[in-house]
Amino acid sequence: AQKVTQAQTEISVVEKEDVTLDCVYETRDTTYYLFWYKQPPSGELVFLIRRNSFDEQNEISGRYSWNFQKSTSSFNFTITASQVVDSAVYFCALGSSNSGYALNFGKGTSLLVTP
């Protein structure tokens, strides 16, 4: 069985603060893929990053960074110097070659960045 846990339901920060969104996953597959999506109030899910299970290299993209650690089955997402436009629901998702085409989403973390 596959499972994604985002323990933080809601986070509120003040602009310019750094914030980390946690994601813990469970899978028995050796080949799997982890994703982060952003869902702004407009509704569409916006792809942020994909990581496969063989690539534990951390990644930085502007103010966004991701820390993938297989030892703890975690794929955490950090926003540096948060901005009001970062306010959204963020979903972590897991897929694998044995799960067919289904992405298993976590329940999401709602991030509110206030001025």
Partner 1 sequence: DAMVIQNPRYQVTQFGKPVTLSCSQTLNHNVMYWYQQKSSQAPKLLFHYYDKDFNNEADTPDNFQSRRPNTSFCFLDIRSPGLGDAAMYLCATSRDAVNTEAFFGQGTRLTVV
Nearest to 38, CA basis, from 80, 87, 72 = 87
Residue 97 sits in the site that holds partner 1 (CB under 8 A) = yes
Question: Are 103 and 94 contacting, i.e. CB atoms less than 8 angstroms apart?
Answer: yes
Residue with the two structure tokens 């603060």: 17
Q: How far is CA 47 from CA 17, 38, 60, 93, in A?
A: 23, 7, 15, 11
Answer for which of 66, 108, 111, 113 binds partner 1 (CB under 8 A) is 108
Q: Under the criterion CB under 8 A, does residue 101 sit at the interface with partner 1?
A: yes
- Rule CB under 8 A: is residue 105 a binding residue for partner 1? yes
Under the binding rule (CB under 8 A), the answer on residue 107 touching partner 1 is yes
Q: Is 80 in the site for partner 1 (CB under 8 A)?
A: no
Tokens of 14: 């003040």
Site residues (vs partner 1, CB under 8 A): 33, 35, 37, 42-47, 50, 52, 91, 95-97, 99-103, 105-108
